[in-house]
Amino acid sequence: MKKIMISIVLILAATTMVNAVKQEVVLFINNMECANCQAKVEKTLAYEKGVKDLKFDLQKRQVTITFDSEKTTVEKLQNALLKRNKYASEVVKPHCTKPCKSAANSCSKPCKKH
């Protein structure tokens, strides 16, 4: 009986893991200018539910966030940065070299394709 229960629990856990939807977003953070700022952003985002991975490019002032879309949203991540550290952020679309407004779903500035 224990083996059956353990098997059921493992199957349910595996199903839950399969249903998790990983997403990736790149945020431009204008006032992330130094390693100390990066550490603050990292500390804030690392503790947000659903965040799986963070990759920073301090020179471009960008952070690439891999997250579980069933546990959080881009807006929640942006709000956490704004609320805790006063860091405003904008979504950078893959084809743009400049930050884009996420709410408008289009670039806030003219884009140049890579």
DSSP string, 10-51: HHHHHHHHHH--EEEEEEEETT--SHHHHHHHHHHHHTSTTE
At 5 the pLDDT is 64
In a domain, 55, yes or no: yes
Across the chain, which has 114 residues, the per-10-residue mean pLDDT values are 68 60 88 90 91 92 92 92 84 64 44 42
pTM summary value? 0.67
26: containing domain: 19-107
Q: Domains in the chain: how many in total?
A: 1
Q: What CATH number should be reported for the domain holding residue 88? A: 3.30.70.100
